[in-house]
Structures are given as structure tokens and as C-alpha cells.
Chains A and B, each alone.
Chain A
Amino acid sequence: MATVTTNKTQLTRRSFLMASATAAGGLLVSLYLDLPLLAQESGPPKLKVYPPDAFIEIKPDGKIVIQVNRLEFGQGVQTSLPMVLADEMDADWTHVVAELAPAADIYRDPVRGIQMVGGSGSIATSFTQYRELGARTRAMLVAAAAQRWNVSPDQCSTAVSVVHGPAGQSATYAELAADAARQPVPTSVELKQPVQFKLIGKHTRRLDTRAKCDGSLKFGLDLDLPGMKTALVARAPVFGGRVRSIDDSAARSVRGVSDVFVIPTISGGTAVAVVADKFWTAKQARDRLKIEWDLSAAERADSSQLLAKYRELARTPGLVAANVGDIKKMDGLKDRIVAEYDFPYLAHSPMEPLNTTVRFEGDRAEVWAGSQFQTIDHAAIAEVLGLKPEQVTFHTEMAGGGFGRRAVADSHVQREAAEIAKRVRGTPVKLIWTREDDVRGGYYRPLHVHRAEIGIGPDGFPIAWQHVVVGQSLLAGTPFAVMMKGGVDPTVAEGVNDTHYAIPNFYVTVHHPKVNVPVLWWRSVGHTHSAFVMETLVDELATRAKMDAMAYRRKFLKPDAKKLRAALDLVDAKSAPWRARLPKGHAVGFACHESFKTGVACAAEVSHENGRPRIHRVTMAVDAGMVVNPLSVESQFQGGIVFGLTQLLGAITLRDGIVEQRNFDGYALPYIGDAPPLVDVHIVPSTEAPTGCGEPPVPVIAPAVANAMFWLTGKRIRSLPLRKS
């Protein structure tokens, strides 16, 4: 097989990238969009014959190098997508090596239309694509062998990187690779039946573990190039601030500093870049900058003021996000719950601080970034440098976590890096955001207020439910705004307006205030707050109806909520033994929620110490259709629980426009002592199409814990994070 694709220079030469002729990166991106992103797809993925040689290289020693068309940042895609391909290819799994593909047209998500990772969609959108790639490759190898032996291809079989002929002939994939490359790429292929899978559905350890355990695997931050400089940026204390004057004499006197200059930032702001030989030098210099900021045009967001304003807004109807039945039926209902909830801004804080390295040579450039949005970031950098995308090589680096923080429509980090690279032409420069920059730098899960008014019928179930959600829009002003209908941002209302509970008269409206705080999707997005509201309210309804929380949910869910019902049944069965033996002072809390088409249920065993919950155990069940790597799903769910616990502990607050937290000392995150020591994960067996596992575990844990806390304290939690009682 030809080895074109992994030679990155050749890839650029063969480039599949479309010519970009636009000055507005946003417009460029929307040309790439085939379908709305975070797609609630309107049909099967557009089938396309993806050329195997862009994805697979068979080396003479038998190693099979597979290009992964999206970022690996801990979700395990670097293992699971190769599993899918290797299975259909009948490849020897022990010979498989995965690589993160650079930015190129051929690697765009086949459904979403841009190269990206997010929305828990990697398997959902690339499952069939990678299966077909594997099947095509296998077919070409078999065709080559059949030719060689003068037999018919259907007389041959394959297993573990070997083709077998009808009369005992055999040849390895490595031996056949060159001949196979000369075969025509078949336009249609037959895929395996699930019963034939050798890898898909099996517990498989990740490919990158050893290298991540011995210090050898390099993340973006670890990149080292000859002559490389490091850059830090001093940004205004208030979003959108501008530099009025700088005294950089002390900064420049730090040995190793090469330059200090102003760069533009998004939203019309400016900031000061420091370029130096090393990180510590750059930090010393940045600390010595004396900058006068012009904050006159910058709105000064303030958390307590926003909360007050949002609570006011929540008492008025907004833009309609759901309208079922007739909400006026509320008028006749005397038995009501009225509840108001509030949620703070949250930072993603992936362990690897944000970074991007750019080398600009005038007529070309090279970029290294752990990007969740390669297509968009690639276009943005090219735009800043005045180049066409095909003049820019964009390498995808392994990233230390993302959770959405590396998927930014305005590519602000990449733009900063490009602005700096422009000034240090010929020298590679690594832009680093320190942890302080990250905690204070915005792009948070937004602050939200919910107000729900529920009119309950005599059987204890809601007859009318009026719900207002207040929160900044994530999509407005970005290319993804095409997904907004009637001004409603679906990523704010999701989890409420698309609930799987049967509410006969349901009226959901939203307000999207414009606030001068950049906001972004935080692992599971709108479900982070909506699931908390829905699942604690459902528990409260169950209590009022004097029904068991599980039984109430079974009755309340729509009949066709198949995945949630399956998950509930499984969690019930698996947690029943320990629920029956709860020690004194322990309570169990339930929650179930569907997000990204995956149904999840959990039961949490909680006790209560000094005003804080202590979680002893969580049992989870998930219906995600067909699962590629159950071991990876188990990790994702165990990990997603911990991520969800951030909601109970952490908050980013602003006072008079300034973020109050600085680093992990002020922004409380879950450590091992905060996490349950036991989390068992159970997968509903399914042959349905695979759906996501990265985000679905996150929304359920906070409400499950809150529900348990009610049994322990008698108090309903309506405000996060938890405060000492």
C-alpha cells in the first residue's frame, strides 16, 4: 500500500483542502457545514468513498498505521476508531499504531462537515466510515492475493493480517501491500455482521497508555523545536479591555526576552505579548510589565448582579423553546411546585494548559495544536497570517483533556498565536496560557437561572409545566448560529425542552442575555444544568406523590423513552443488592437523563459530613446503542462522574468585571477524596447504531447526589455549588 498519507509534506502537496477566498473565517466555516453541527441527524451519514490510502499505511514490518480523524484528548478515540477499522480489515490488532491526522479536508467529520471532535459524536459519525475503510482495504488486499494465486477473491479468507487461499496459500498484508495499492478502490463493500466482530464490542486496552506512563508521549505543551521561543500574553482584567499604555522597560531587561508588543484579541480588545527564550523568562517579564488598561468600553459583568437580573427575567416568558398542549391548563391547578435554580460560571480546566505553536515563514506556515476544531482553527490561522489554508500545515497534537475548551468557534488561542508568529517571522513560537490565564480567561459554562412552575394532578403527576431558562447563548455570533431557530439556542434549552418525560401541557421559554463574558460548551453543555433541575424536580414530585423515585420515573417517562427505560431497569437490578443494605446515615439518590442520544441512569450512595456529601458508591447504566470498546466506556463513565462533581464544588464568579478566582486554590475541583471509591458501570446490550459516551455520564451525578442529600438533610438543593450548611 502506498505510504502517501503519513508523509506530511506529501499530504500538503496532494492537499484536499478547498481554496479559501474569504476574509471572514466565519463564512469560510459555514461553507464547510454540510449539516447543522451537534447534529440531531436528519438521516444516515452521507456515504462517500473515502480513499484508504489517506487513512491506512501498511509498513513492510507489518505495522498498520491508522490515521484518526479527530483529536485524542482522553476519550479513547485513538483506540476505538482504529478498533473499528482493524476489525473490518481483519488486521492483527497487536500491530496497529494510531496517529492523529493533521488538518485536511479528507479528515472532516463525515456528518458534521468539519474536522472536529465534540458532541460525543466520534463513534456515532465515523463508525460506518471507518468500517468501510477497513472493509475496502481488506477487499483490495484479497484482490491482490487472488490475482497472485490466480483464484477468485471469494475463495480467499482473511484473519490477523493474513490472506489465505483455497489451496493452503497464504500471504501477509505486508507482503501484499504494494500490489493492493494498485487495485481499484471498490465503491461498495460488504460489512461484517455483529456476530463476526473480533474487536468491536470487546474490552480493549488503550494503545497510548504505556507512552503516557513513562514520560515519552509528547503533548502540545511538550513540543520543542530548534530555535523555538515561548510567548505569554498579558490580558486585560476585564473582558474586552484595551491597552492604553505600557511601560515595558523592566520586562525587557529580563535576560532572554526578545520582544514585547501589542496584539489584538477578540471582541475588539488588545493585549500585550511577551516573547522570550523560555517559559520562566517570559513569566518573569510578563510579571514586570506595567500596563495601563482602558476599560471604558468594557461592560463589567458581575455574578451577583447577573443573578438578580436573571431571576427577574425568569419571571417573564421568553422565546419559545417548547410548546406542548395548552399551558393555560395551569390556571385550574391548585397543587403546585414553584422552584428557582441558579448555577454559576464554570471553567473547564483541562490538565494541559492551552497552547499552540506556530512557525510563520512568509509564504507558508506550520502549526502544532491540540485542537478540537482543526478546520476552523486552520482557517483562522491562515486568515491572520494572510495565507490560504493550503499554505498552512496544521499538525494535531495529543491534548491533555479538553471537555470542550479546545473547541472554540472564534479560535481565539490560535489567533493570538498567529498574531505573535507574524511578528517573529521564521522562528517557531509556542504560545502558552498559564493556569491563571485559563481560570481567568473566560469561555466558561455560562451562569444560568431556571424557574419552573408545575401544576400537579390528583395522581401526583404534572398536568402543566411552565419553565423559563435564562442563560447566555453559546451559538449566537458563531457559524453554529444556523442551529438556532426562532432565536432559541438549543444548547441552552436542551435537557428541558426535549425532555423524555410525558408532560401534557409543557411550555418552555428562554432568555439569552448578552453579557461581556465569553462562554463555551462544557462537557455535556446544556444538560449540565437542565438535568440537575429536571431530576431534582422529578424526585420532589415523587416524594409528594409518596412514590418510590424509580417507580415514579418509570410511570412518568414517555412510553417510547426506550434507552432511559432500559438504563433505569439495569441500574435498578445492579444497585438493588447494595441498596437493600444501606448503612445507617447513608441514603441513595437516583437520576436518569438522556443526552447525545444516550440514555443514562445512576444510583448514588451518599452520606453527609460537615455539610458536605460523601459519595461512597455509584452504580451506572448506559444505553448507547452498540458499544465499540466497553472498557473505554467504563472509564468514560467513571471519569464523567468525577467531572460532574465539579458542579457541586466549583464556581467562577465575577465582581465588577473581574474574575475572582486565580488558580486551583480558588476554583475548587474534585480530588480523589471527593470522588466515590467505587463506580460500577453496566452497559445495556444493543445492536442499535452507536451513540456517544463522552458527555452522557456528566449530567446525572449532581442531581443524584442532591436527591440523596434530601433524604439526609430534608433540604432541597437549588443553588450550586454546595455551600456549607
Chain B
Amino acid sequence: MQTFKLTVNGQQKEVTADPGTPLLWILREDLKMTGTKYGCGIAACGACTVHLGGVPTRSCVVPISLVGNRPAVTIEAMADDPAGRAVQDAWVAEDVVQCGYCQSGQIMAAVALLKSVRKPTDKDIEESMGGNLCRCGTYVRIRQAIKTAAKQLA
């Protein structure tokens, strides 16, 4: 057990945990932030995506011991981020969501894409969103919503 300091959504946090504990479970259980989801545990589905040091990161495979001083940003902070807000609004406007369980990860990935590429093409969208799994099959609407959000941010 070790004590770790980390910054989450701009706030300083301190947790005591086994160093091998994935950031995902630190967020969900130690910090009670359940917006970031557990879908597979092997970085296959993207439901656990957060932004770590500005990089979209699959928190289920990053142990707390490797986080360092990189700030973490989660889905809970997206409403206060211009790109995050645009994506959420687009998700509502285009009625993207079905069960919703994968959508925190989808949104975090979409925001990362839009922060990097102002006008993503179909190929950009397909490649960047290519590792986020949705069992309800909301992909068609996700494509559309990313384009809507891009227009909004332009």
C-alpha cells in the first residue's frame, strides 16, 4: 500500500492504494467517480477512457503508480469544457445514446479527436473512434454527432 497524490479535474486528491491498482478503480472506488466505466479491463473497449496529461488514456490498464504528476480529466468535467459541452450537446441533439454505458468513453475519445482535428473526415472519425466498442450499435449516430459538434466548435 502506498499513498499517491493526483490531480483529477483540477482538484488535488490523495489516495492510499496498492500501486498496481488501475487508475480506473481508483477513480470509481477511492474517489467515488463512477462516470468512467469498466467494460473489459484489457483496454479493448474504451469505456474507461480519461484524458491523462492531455492524452486520451485507457484507465483500466494504467496502474496508479504510473500516473505521476500528469493531471487526469474525466467525463464529469466535460460539461465545463467547450469541446466537451459541444460533444454532449451534439450527442443529445442527434439522440446518440441507447443504453449509454459506453458513452463516457465515446465522448472522451470524440473530445480528444476534436481537440486535435477541427474538421475530422469520415476516415479520421473511423480511425480515432475505431477502438471504442458499442454493443447497442450507436456508431452511425456517433459519426453524425461528431460532425455536428465540429460544426458547433468551428
Q: Which of A156-164, A212-220, A573-581 contacts B (4 or more CB under 8 A)?
A: A212-220
A403 proximity list for chain B (CB < 8 A): 135
> Are B98 and A74 interface neighbours, CB within 8 A?
yes
> Are A664 and B98 interface neighbours, CB within 8 A?
no
Interface residues on chain A, size class = 35 or more
Contact with B along A31-75 (1 / 0, CB 8 A): 000000000000000000000000000000000000000000111
Q: Which of B78, B103, B135, B142 contacts A672 (CB 8 A)?
A: B142
Q: A221-B38, A351-B47, A678-B140 are in contact. Are A214 and B88 (CB under 8 A)?
A: yes
Q: A214-B88, A675-B140, A677-B122 are in contact. Are A351 and B135 (CB under 8 A)?
A: yes
Which residues B101-154 have CB closer than 8 A to chain A? 101-104, 107, 122, 125-127, 129-143
> Are A222 and B34 interface neighbours, CB within 8 A?
yes
* A670 in contact (CB, < 8 A): yes
Question: With the chains together, A677 CA to B141 CA distance in Å?
Answer: 9
Question: With the chains together, A160 CA to B37 CA distance in Å?
Answer: 38
Question: With the chains together, A671 CA to B44 CA distance in Å?
Answer: 10
CB-nearest residue of chain A relative to B122? A677
> Are B34 and A673 interface neighbours, CB within 8 A?
no
A351 proximity list for chain B (CB < 8 A): 37, 39, 45, 47, 99, 101-102, 133-136
A664 proximity list for chain B (CB < 8 A): 40, 42, 44-45, 133
Contact with B along A389-427 (1 / 0, CB 8 A): 000000000111111000000000000000000000000
Question: With the chains together, A665 CA to B47 CA distance in Å?
Answer: 15
> Are A209 and B97 interface neighbours, CB within 8 A?
yes
B97 proximity list for chain A (CB < 8 A): 206, 208-209, 212-213
Contact with A along B10-34 (1 / 0, CB 8 A): 0000000110111001001110111
> Are B140 and A280 interface neighbours, CB within 8 A?
no
A279 proximity list for chain B (CB < 8 A): 25, 28-29, 38
> Are A663 and B99 interface neighbours, CB within 8 A?
no
A678 proximity list for chain B (CB < 8 A): 140
B139 proximity list for chain A (CB < 8 A): 642, 671-672, 675, 677
* A473 in contact (CB, < 8 A): no
> Are A665 and B137 interface neighbours, CB within 8 A?
no
A222 proximity list for chain B (CB < 8 A): 28, 34
B134 proximity list for chain A (CB < 8 A): 351, 642, 672
> Are B99 and A672 interface neighbours, CB within 8 A?
no
B8 to chain A, nearest CB (A): 12
CB-nearest residue of chain B relative to A523? B135
> Are B38 and A349 interface neighbours, CB within 8 A?
no
CB-nearest residue of chain A relative to B74? A215
B30 proximity list for chain A (CB < 8 A): 278
* A284 in contact (CB, < 8 A): yes
B18 to chain A, nearest CB (A): 7
Contact with B along A197-230 (1 / 0, CB 8 A): 0000000011011101111111101101000000
Q: A279-B25, A665-B42 are in contact. Are A640 and B140 (CB under 8 A)?
A: no
> Are B100 and A663 interface neighbours, CB within 8 A?
no
Question: With the chains together, A435 CA to B133 CA distance in Å?
Answer: 13
Question: With the chains together, A643 CA to B138 CA distance in Å?
Answer: 10
CB-nearest residue of chain B relative to A255? B1
Question: With the chains together, A676 CA to B143 CA distance in Å?
Answer: 11
A352 proximity list for chain B (CB < 8 A): 37, 39, 99, 101
CB within 8 Å: A-B pair count: 186
Q: A279-B29, A349-B135, A435-B40 are in contact. Are A206 and B95 (CB under 8 A)?
A: yes
Q: Which of A10-18, A91-99, A334-342, A631-639 contacts B (4 or more CB under 8 A)?
A: A631-639
Q: Which of B35, B39, B40, B129 contacts A216 (CB 8 A)?
A: B35
Question: With the chains together, A631 CA to B93 CA distance in Å?
Answer: 12
* B66 in contact (CB, < 8 A): no
> Are B138 and A673 interface neighbours, CB within 8 A?
no
CB-nearest residue of chain B relative to A697? B137
* B36 in contact (CB, < 8 A): yes
Question: With the chains together, A210 CA to B126 CA distance in Å?
Answer: 24
B78 proximity list for chain A (CB < 8 A): 213-215
Q: Which of B32, B36, B38, B100 contacts A212 (CB 8 A)?
A: B100
Question: With the chains together, A146 CA to B20 CA distance in Å?
Answer: 68
A350 proximity list for chain B (CB < 8 A): 99, 101, 135
Question: With the chains together, A128 CA to B58 CA distance in Å?
Answer: 46
A695 to chain B, nearest CB (A): 13
Q: Which of A210, A218, A401, A672 contacts B136 (CB 8 A)?
A: A401
> Are B88 and A280 interface neighbours, CB within 8 A?
no
Q: Which of B28, B137, B141 contacts A670 (CB 8 A)?
A: B137
> Are B44 and A663 interface neighbours, CB within 8 A?
yes
CB-nearest residue of chain A relative to B101? A400
B28 proximity list for chain A (CB < 8 A): 222, 279
A165 to chain B, nearest CB (A): 37
Contact with A along B62-101 (1 / 0, CB 8 A): 0000000000001110110000000010011001111111
> Are B130 and A673 interface neighbours, CB within 8 A?
yes
Q: Report which residue of A212, A635, A638, A664 has the largest number of chain B beta carbons within 10 angstroms of its beta carbon.
A: A212
Q: A215-B104, A401-B101 are in contact. Are A672 and B39 (CB under 8 A)?
A: no
Question: With the chains together, A636 CA to B140 CA distance in Å?
Answer: 11
> Are A208 and B100 interface neighbours, CB within 8 A?
yes
Question: With the chains together, A642 CA to B134 CA distance in Å?
Answer: 9
CB-nearest residue of chain B relative to A676? B140
Question: With the chains together, A403 CA to B134 CA distance in Å?
Answer: 13
> Are B140 and A679 interface neighbours, CB within 8 A?
yes
Which residues A346-360 have CB closer than 8 A to chain B? 349-353
* A641 in contact (CB, < 8 A): yes
Contact with B along A672-688 (1 / 0, CB 8 A): 11011111000000000
B123 to chain A, nearest CB (A): 10
A607 to chain B, nearest CB (A): 15
A217 proximity list for chain B (CB < 8 A): 100
* A25 in contact (CB, < 8 A): no
Q: A255-B1, A664-B40 are in contact. Are A214 and B99 (CB under 8 A)?
A: no
> Are A280 and B21 interface neighbours, CB within 8 A?
yes
A20 proximity list for chain B (CB < 8 A): none
Question: With the chains together, A675 CA to B134 CA distance in Å?
Answer: 11
B137 proximity list for chain A (CB < 8 A): 638-643, 670, 675
CB-nearest residue of chain A relative to B127? A673
Question: With the chains together, A436 CA to B79 CA distance in Å?
Answer: 33
B28 to chain A, nearest CB (A): 8
* A183 in contact (CB, < 8 A): no
Question: With the chains together, A216 CA to B127 CA distance in Å?
Answer: 28
Q: A209-B95, A400-B100 are in contact. Are A215 and B76 (CB under 8 A)?
A: yes
> Are A214 and B79 interface neighbours, CB within 8 A?
yes
Contact with B along A67-85 (1 / 0, CB 8 A): 0000001111000000000
CB-nearest residue of chain B relative to A353? B38
* A669 in contact (CB, < 8 A): yes
Instruction: Given contact pairs A208-B100, A663-B40, A672-B143, enumerate 9 new A-B contacts (beta carbons under 8 Å).
Output: A208-B97, A213-B78, A215-B33, A400-B101, A400-B102, A665-B44, A671-B130, A672-B132, A675-B137
Report 9 cross-chain contacts, Cβ distance below 8 Å, ordered by A residue. A206-B95, A209-B97, A213-B97, A214-B76, A279-B38, A402-B99, A663-B41, A670-B137, A672-B139
Cβ-closest 3 pairs across A and B: A215-B35, A642-B137, A400-B101
Binding site for A on B (CB under 8 A): 1, 17-18, 20-22, 25, 28-30, 32-42, 44-45, 47, 74-76, 78-79, 88, 91-92, 95-104, 107, 122, 125-127, 129-143
